[in-house]
Amino acid sequence: MRPLDATPLNSAEEAAACARMLVTTEPWITLQLTFERALERLSDARYESYAVRDDDGIAGFIVLDMHGLLAGYIQTVCVRPDQQRRGLGSGLIRWAEDRIFRDSPNVFICVSSFNPRARQLYERLGYEQIGLLRAFGVAEHDELLLRKTRGSWAEFRQRASSPEVEGPVGRRLEVGGAADRRIDELRSSR
């Protein structure tokens, strides 16, 4: 299989194409996502948005939130209907995991209670339910919070600073920086 060629969204047109895909696709129809809100998220510099393209435009895309308590949260993953069930969604998620696990020991994702097929996919990829957000997006449905983890922040920090596994110094400093901030937050909250 060819390696996945996912690169950042690179224009307002691409962001608009992704927003159009979302608002015409379940679960976002039921969740009442508007084009404006979708576009706002896809254009928000706090999130990282990556896409895979083909001759017809955006074939699939994924949006990551690398900040806050749930750093490493896959906010959105969507594959164009004619490209579904060919491995692209799994490929995008695995690709995102590689990126997230460089900076965090956790990958989080939510799935709507009425989307059992997506839930099955995530469970096959190793995600476990760790929470339930009742009546979260709309009053009629819940969101299940799932996680795939490589351990605690303390273990992650230790691995990142261990001479046996560290990469180049720049990489180590970057990883250690994220973990150090977490440890400092914990210390100051005691």
Name the residues that contact ligand COA, by CB under 6 A.
25, 27, 77-79, 84-90, 111, 115, 117-118, 120-121
Shortest gap between Cβ of 8 and ligand COA (angstroms)? 19
Long-range contact pairs involving 73-78 (C-beta distance under 8 Å, separation at least 24): 73/107, 73/108, 73/109, 74/100, 74/107, 74/108, 74/109, 75/41, 75/47, 76/22, 76/41, 77/109, 78/18, 78/21, 78/22, 78/25
Shortest gap between Cβ of 113 and ligand COA (angstroms)? 11
* Distance, CA of 26 to CA of 141 (rounded, Å): 13
Which of residues 28 and 156 has its CB atom nearest to ligand COA in the complex? 28
Which of residues 83 and 161 has its CB atom nearest to ligand COA in the complex? 83
Shortest gap between Cβ of 104 and ligand COA (angstroms)? 19
Shortest gap between Cβ of 115 and ligand COA (angstroms)? 5
Which of residues 106 and 179 has its CB atom nearest to ligand COA in the complex? 106
Shortest gap between Cβ of 65 and ligand COA (angstroms)? 14
- The crossing angle, in degrees rounded to 10, of helices 169-189 and 153-161 is 150
Between the CA atoms of 179, 92, 111 and 64, what dihedral angle is there, to the nearest 10 degrees? 40
Which of residues 106 and 175 has its CB atom nearest to ligand COA in the complex? 106
Residue of this chain nearest to ligand COA (CB atom): 89
Query: What single string gives the DSSP state of each residue in 57-117?
Result: EEEEEEEEE-SSTTTTEEEEEEE-GGGTTSSHHHHHHHHHHHHHTTT-SEEEEEEETT-HH
Which of residues 120 and 158 has its CB atom nearest to ligand COA in the complex? 120
